[in-house]
Amino acid sequence: MEKNLPLKLERDILKQLATEQLVEIIIEEGKSIEKLTNRVIELEKEIEKLKVSRDLDSIRLWKAPLGDILKKTENKQQQKP
- 39-64 pLDDT tens trace: 999 999 999 999 988 888 777 766 65
Residue 55 confidence (pLDDT): 83
Which has the higher per-residue pLDDT, 46 or 68? Answer: 46
The number of beta carbons lying within 10 Å of the beta carbon of residue 13 is 12
Residue 20 confidence (pLDDT): 97
- Cβ atoms 25, 5 nearer than 8 A: yes
Residue 1 confidence (pLDDT): 42
pTM over 0.75: no
Percent of the chain with pLDDT over 90: 46
